[in-house]
């Protein structure tokens, strides 16, 4: 049996709201290249998860955000045939509001879209992404402290 990876990679993502629409990206690179998802990427050393989320959304979409809080933490674990861990990402997803900028595909995104929750079925999002969107929607309606 080969060894598993040493530690998970920390990633950040965000459900970014602009009115009744949320920001989606078509992934330009692996994993899941060509599929629609939430914008985000890897946290860099020296960044808080909040700083990483703002930077990643800006780099990937050109949009500035105001973070409302953490919507969910998701572990994406891919195992090899021998049971070892091939990839492990721990993704901290934020609920956020659009604060400025025009959405455009940049960095790792092939395409961007603003979608209403009623339109989400046509983007073939994973069940976990849909769950995170619902959690972020609830976070959005909670009073901020």
CA-CA-CA-CA dihedral for 121, 18, 98, 43, to nearest 10: -10
129: Cα separation from own chain's centroid: 8
| 47 half-sphere exposure, CB direction, 13 A CA radius | 16
**Token code pair at residue 29:** 């690179």
Active site residues per annotation: 111
**Token code pair at residue 101:** 């900028």
The answer to whether the beta carbons of residues 91 and 49 sit under 8 Å apart is no
Compute CA distances 13 → 4, 66, 80, 83, whole Å.
25, 13, 25, 28
């Amino acid at each position: 049996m080969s060894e598993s990876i040493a530690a998970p990679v920390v990633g950040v993502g965000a459900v970014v709201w602009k009115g009744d629409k949320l920001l989606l990206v078509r992934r330009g690179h692996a994993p899941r290249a060509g599929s629609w998802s939430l914008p985000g990427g890897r946290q860099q050393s020296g960044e808080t998860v909040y700083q990483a989320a703002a930077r990643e959304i800006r780099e990937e979409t050109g949009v500035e955000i105001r973070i409302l809080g953490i919507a969910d933490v998701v572990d994406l674990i891919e195992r090899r045939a021998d049971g070892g861990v091939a990839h492990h990402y721990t993704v901290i997803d934020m609920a956020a509001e659009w604060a400025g900028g025009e959405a455009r595909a940049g960095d790792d995104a092939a395409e961007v879209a603003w979608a209403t929750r009623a339109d989400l079925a046509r983007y073939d999002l994973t069940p976990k992404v849909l769950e995170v969107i619902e959690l972020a929607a609830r976070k959005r309606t909670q009073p901020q402290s």
